[in-house]
Amino acid sequence: MEAAPDALNPATTETRKGTPAVRAAKDIAFGSAAGIASKFLEHPFDLTKVRLQAQVLDASARFKGPLDCLSQTFKKEGIRGLYRGLPAPIVGAMVENAALFLSYGELQNAVRWASGTQTTQALSLPQLALAAAGAGAITSTLLTPIELVKCKMQVQMLISPSIPPTVLASSTSIPLSAAATATLPPSSAAAAAASLRALPGPLEIITSIYRQFGLRGFWLGHTGTLIRETGGSAAWFSTKEFVASLLIARSPPSLDSSVSRRRRDLKSWESAFSGACAGASYNLALFPADTVKSTMQTEAELRPGSQQGRSFWAVGKEMWAKQGLRGLYAGCGITIARSIPSSAIIFCIYDGLMTRFG
Q: What is the 3-state secondary structure (H, E, C) of 49-111?
A: HHHHHHCCCCCCCCCCCHHHHHHHHHHHHHHHHHCCCCHHHHHHHHHHHHHHHHHHHHHHHHH
Cα–Cα distance measured from residue 290 to residue 27, given in angstroms and rounded to the nearest whole number: 26
Other CB atoms within 10 A of residue 305 CB: 8
Cα–Cα distance measured from residue 169 to residue 273, given in angstroms and rounded to the nearest whole number: 44
| Cβ atoms of 341 and 276 closer than 8 Å | yes
Q: Which CATH class is domain 6-176+188-249+263-357?
A: mainly alpha
Written as tens digits, the pLDDT of the chain (358 aa) is: 434 444 344 433 344 566 677 777 888 888 888 888 888 888 888 888 888 888 888 877 888 888 898 888 888 888 887 887 777 778 878 888 888 989 998 899 899 889 887 766 778 999 999 999 999 999 999 999 999 998 898 887 777 544 444 344 444 443 433 333 333 344 444 444 444 456 778 889 999 999 999 999 999 999 999 999 999 999 999 999 999 989 888 866 554 444 445 556 788 999 999 999 999 999 887 899 999 999 999 988 888 777 777 899 999 999 999 999 999 998 898 889 889 999 999 999 998 888 888 6
